[in-house]
Structure 1
Amino acid sequence: MKLEIRGGKAVLGSQLAGLDDEGLKKVVEEANVFARLTPAQKLSIVNALKENGHIVGFIGDGVNDAPALHSADCGISVDSGTDIAKESADIILLKHGLPVVADGITEGRKTFANTIKYIKNTVSANFGNMFTVAISSVFLPFLPLLPAQILLNNFVSDIPMTAVSTDSVDESDLRTPKKWRISSLAKFMVFFGLVSSVFDIVTMAFLIYFINSGFSLGALRMELSLSDSAQKLFRTGWFVESVISEIIVVYAIRTAKPFYSSRPSTLLMALSALAIIGTVAIIYSPLAGAFEFAQPDLQFMAVIGMILVAYFLVTEISKHLFYRFVKSQ
């Protein structure tokens, strides 16, 4: 790593002695090099830069550097520095050279980006599920999912989410620092939560129609009161749809780019495949009886598959609309 200084001027500590706070704020914007400074002057320069709106890093290893190290947004010392310098610093370098700081910044931005991915997926899914259950409880004369099925839903859908921390990060997320913005997350939660809820409600209506009509397009009819066996089939369909949709939607919302332009990590893909296979396996295994699932035929599962494909495409289109119109506001 090279330190390149372009233009500007050098300022000595003696030249700063007669400046007031406003004068110092102006000088720190014009000068690139400060030399022969007292500990108080180092601290004043750091504070002036912060007051001008800069995020300030300071490197030092001596007793005289401690006040500035403590005041800086990021104080950096070395392992061979004085005890007070190391106590005042935020980062202590165990190796010589600044490339380790750059590597640490890259890892920090990766961690932040993947944390935001997890939060976005979780809060939007939870908001959507809450809204869907609230709406469905008003119109359906039976529980859309039993308590044990909801717990199983949460357990299986969370398996791939444990791998989000290992996910690859787009170059655009590493290029510049990102800030924690609650308002942006709130917009994301409401927007995609509502998209999820609308599609869940459409899925419910679709399942009821086809269960009542025996999957005959010519005999579609709406009857909310289903028999016990039909309720099992409905819950099975919605369980499969809700679990798999929550798994596949992460591939749309994990990047602002088209999903095929950003490759996810191998572990995330592997755990997603495992969770999807496990979801389907559960309803055809002896566990189906324990969770009160039906064992639907291939035609039913094909309909669920088409619903999932439609949901993913709608989410992908909604994502581009969100980043184009909503987030920019």
Structure 2
Amino acid sequence: MTDAACLVFMGTTVISGSALAVVIATGRSALFGGLSRAFQWQRPRTRFERGMNSTSWMLMAFTAVTVPVSMLVTGIAGGDWLQALLFGVSVAVGLTPEMLPLIVTVCLSRGARTMASGKAIVRRLDAIETLGGMDVLCVDKTGTLTSGVIKLDRAQSMSGLNSSYVLHAAWLTTLIPHTTSNPWDDAIVAAEGDSANDTGDVQVEGGTPFDPIRRRATVIVAKSHHRADREHTGGSDISETSGAGAGTSGNVSRIMVVKGAVSEMLPRCDTVMRNGTAEPLTDRLRGTYERLMADKATHGYRVLLVAQRSVTDQTTVQDDRALTLLGYLTFLDLPKPDAADTIAHMHNAGITVTMLTGDEPQVARTVARKVGINARRVVTGRTLDDMTDTALGTELRRVNVFAKLTPEHKARIVSLLRREGHCVGYMGDGVNDLPAMHASEIAISASTGSEAVRQSADVMLTHKNLDVLLRGITQSRRTCVNMMKYIKLALSSNFGNIISVMIAGAFLPFVPMAPVQMVLLNLIYDLACLAIPWDRVDGDVLRSPARWDTASIARFMSRFGPVSSLFDMVTFTVLLTLLCPAVAGGRFPELHGDGSRLLFVAAFQTGWFVVSMWTQITALHMLRTERVPFIGSRASVPLVCTSLAALTIATALPFTPVGAWMGFHVPPVSLFALLAIVIAGYAVTVLAVRTLYLHRQQPLL
């Protein structure tokens, strides 16, 4: 529809000329107005939202099972159902990572601040996770992959030689009065240089600017003198006096100059200037020139032909026929210097770049090849109209360049990419990009985009450059990895503690840890994790999209949680048989006084509290990286400091009055020998399980 030359679309800017039109559609019934329907669509939930919801349901399911079981086991074993109820509540609290909302928010906020310093502004915090998980980026060509500035490549005669006169003749068409500036004329004026400001010898007598219907610009000028141009081979002059036929009156030359599209210009030319003389433009020459210009278009050039003829006082701009073909202009919208390198880095980072453009297929293919996008096959909008969603979904797996697209085509492609399981980002800056941006999972725009686009964007770039976006993606991935560190480590640690509590509850006549002590244990550990947003992230982890994967969280919990429980059982055994009897004066069943039994319980709970904190901090540093801990990858200084602070608080607390108030007892020196053995064995076991976990191609974070 957008190719229909008989239609005027709402939102079109009229540069010049006049027309009589019949209104056939208004408001949202018009093509431009129909784009506003994008704002009425319910935007699909992002991967971050889906991940948070699924993780919440998983925690609720675990809680629904473990809390009743722990209450029953504790109540039956101890006979105190009120204590069992309180313990069940503490189990529910212990299984829940209380600091999850805070640490996730801190991670996202810090990521947003860092990205803003890198010229990428995040308008929604949860967009950071989505940006980090993006694996397909859809972009337009103009202004994103290219500079967006049309430049004149060459002005040549039909003999293929550079010609300043062809450029000068084309420059004359830019002098038409009441003509709004356009990229092609701007490029011609820039190439003409300083002489473009010297119009004293030129008087414009009439002209018609370029328009999409005529596809040519015509001007009639009177010149008091002329400039000549010799071909670089030393041939004859190409000028209005060398066979092009100029009407002259004394020192004044009157000529008509026309520049325009190849298909419009060739039928209007009767002769061609070759080697300084005008020759008949035969059918053979027309065919040769058509193939030449088609080859230029194939290589990404935009081509305009330039012709002229002599005129009299009675000649009008409508008489632009019987012209002499002088030469042609080739224009380029050059790729940005760093576009190819940036796209190569994106490919290495697991991001496929797909070009969606309304431009011609030949131009799109040329630019795609120059910047490193797969352009073996280019699909046009008309081809899309004849394809089913199933067929198009198959094409999307092997095609990365789409040309001559409407806004609806772009939105359809983005939607199908998402249906194929990709996390799709779309980068646009015009109103016609709104449907595709709305259909994408992460909408990206530049600060130079239209107001409606900026309001719809999730991420806004202060500089429209893919390199800025790549840096933002890297930072967002770093943020996601750190966020996932806390989620996986906290949940697996809590899960291990709950398993230990439930097992202990079946065999112990007392609760292994008081509810207030369990809450305190989680609180101290979570405070240590507050520094995770500032932790270092290994470079190899950033080479692939970071996604919130609930199944991966469940696998992590099920592998590493039981490892913690295994060493809890070792700790329980040593506490029950050696350390606590030494403190209380005998094994628990042998004790008869309430005081001695309370002392036994306090010593047991103190020992497990201290060991639990050390094992959790050890797991944090063993599992924060896939490399060798402390050697191949070191934690950040803030995380090291908070970890040491947590260990110090947990270890020193039983020696303080606050510890006594919370039911702790001063531990014997032998506890620290047990602690050293358990931590050493635990670290070795975690590394072994981590190796098996990675060997099965399971990403750690």
Superposition TM-score, scaled by structure 2 size? 0.42
For residues 540 and 428 of structure 2, the distance between their equivalents in structure 1, rounded to whole angstroms, comes to 32
Structure-2 residue corresponding to 1:153: 521
Distance in 1 (CA, whole Å) between partners of 2:445 and 2:645 is 46
Distance 1:58 1:141, change over 3 A: closer
| One-letter amino acid of the structure 2 residue matched with residue 255 of structure 1 | T
Q: Who is 1:96 aligned against?
A: 464
State the 1:205 CA deviation.
Answer: 0.7
**AA in 1 matched with 2:493:** A
More moved, 71-80 vs 275-284? 71-80
Higher strand share: 2
The answer for the alignment partner of 2:654 in structure 1 is: 283
Distance 2:546 2:439 in 1: 22
C-alpha separation in 1, matches of 2:444 and 2:478: 21
Q: Relative to 1, partners in 2 of residues 1:41 and 1:299: Cα closer, same or farther, differing over 3 Å?
A: closer
Answer whether contact 2:482 2:535 (CA < 8 A) is retained: yes
CA contact (8 A) 1:141 1:225 kept: no
Deviation at 1:296, TM superposition (A): 2.5
Is there any run of 5+ residues in structure 1 with no aligned partner, and where?
216-220
Match of 2:570?
202
Question: Aligned in 2, Cα 1:101/1:250: closer, same or farther, shift over 3 Å?
Answer: same
- The residue type equivalent to 1:145 in the other structure is M
Alignment partner, residue 156 of structure 2: none
Distance between the aligned counterparts of 1:259 and 1:284, measured in 2?
Answer: 31
2:444 match:
76
Q: Counterpart of 1:291 in structure 2: which amino acid?
A: M
* Match of residue 169 from structure 1: 537
User: 1-side partners of 2:572 and 2:516: how far apart?
Assistant: 19
Number of the residue aligned with 2:505: 137
In the alignment, structure 1 residue 110 sits paired with structure 2 residue 478 = yes
Q: Deviations over 1:12-70 (max 9, x none)?
A: 85764764346756666666554554333433444455556654433322222222222
Q: Which one of 487, 492, 501 corresponds to residue 124 of structure 1? A: 492
Quick one: which of 288, 301, 318 aligns to 2:672? 301
Looking at structure 2, the residues matched to 206 and 310 of structure 1 have their Cα atoms a distance apart, in angstroms, of 14
**Partners of 2:501 and 2:518 in 1: how far apart?**
11
Shift of 1:114: 1.4
Contact kept, 8 Å, 2:428 with 2:444, in 1: the verdict is: yes
Does structure 1 residue 2 correspond to structure 2 residue 339? yes
- Quickly say closer, same or farther: Cα 1:12–1:279, change in 2 above 3 A: closer
Which one-letter code corresponds to 2:647 in the other structure?
I
| CA shift for structure 1 position 123 | 1.2
Q: d(CA) in 1 for partners of 2:581 and 2:654?
A: 23
Q: For residue 142 of structure 1, give the secondary structure of its aligned residue in structure 2.
A: coil
Moved more, 21-30 or 255-264: 21-30
Aligned residue for 2:339, secondary structure, equals coil
Partner of 1:267: 638
For 2:615 and 2:541, locate their aligned partners in 1 and report how far apart those are by CA, in whole Å: 25
Matched position secondary structure for 2:445: strand
Q: Residues 186-236 of structure 1: CA distance to partner in whole angstroms, max 9, x if unpaired?
A: 122122121111211111111111136649xxxxx9655553323322221
SS of aligned partner of 1:122: helix
Residues of 1 paired with 2:506 and 2:395: CA distance?
66
Label 1:38 to 1:262 Cα distance change in 2 as closer, same or farther (>3 A).
same
Task: Quickly say closer, same or farther: Cα 1:311–1:40, change in 2 above 3 A.
Answer: closer
Is the contact made by 1:12 and 1:35 (CA closer than 8 Å) also made in structure 2?
yes
Q: Contact (CA 8 Å) 1:163, 1:267: kept in 2 or not?
A: yes
Instruction: Confirm or deny: 8 A CA contact 2:579 2:670 kept in the other structure.
Output: no
CA 1:169–1:15: 2 relative to 1, 3 Å: same
Q: TM-score, normalised by structure 1?
A: 0.85
Q: Which has the higher helix share?
A: 1
Which amino acid counterpart does residue 194 of structure 1 have in structure 2?
Answer: P
- Equivalent-residue separation in structure 2 for 1:14 and 1:289 (angstroms): 76
Match of 2:556 in 1: 188
**In 2 relative to 1, CA 78–311 (structure 1 residues): closer, same or farther, beyond 3 Å?**
same
Query: What amino acid is the match of 1:204?
Result: F
* Distance in 1 separating the partners of 2:391 and 2:441: 22
- Amino acid across the alignment from 2:455: E
Which of 252, 255, 260 aligns to 2:622? It is: 252
After superposition, the Cα gap between the structure-2 partners of 1:274 and 1:12, relative to the gap in structure 1 and judged at 3 Å, is closer
Q: 1:11 to 1:130 in 2, by over 3 A?
A: closer
Aligned to 2:604: 234
* CA-atom RMSD in angstroms: 2.9
Letter in 2 for 1:57: G
1:20 equivalent in alignment to 2:397: no
State the AA in 1 paired with 2:387: D
Quote the residue 1:57 is aligned against. Answer: 425
Q: What SS does the corresponding residue of 1:77 show, helix, strand or coil?
A: strand
Cα offset, 1:182, TM superposition = 2.1
Tell me which amino acid in the other structure corresponds to 1:232: A
| Cα distance change of structure 1 residues 232 and 107 upon mapping to structure 2, 3 Å threshold | same
CA-CA distance at 1:88 after TM superposition: 3.7
Find the counterpart in structure 2 of residue 318 from structure 1: 689
CA distance in 2, matches of 1:251, 1:239: 19
Match of 2:5 in 1: none
Aligned equivalents of 2:397, 2:663: Cα separation in 1: 69
Contact 1:10 1:35 in 2 (8 A): no
Higher relative contact order (CA closer than 8 Å, sequence separation 6+): 2
Distance 1:94 1:147 in 2: 51
Larger Rg: 2
1:236–1:8: structure 2 CA closer, same or farther, 3 Å change rule? same
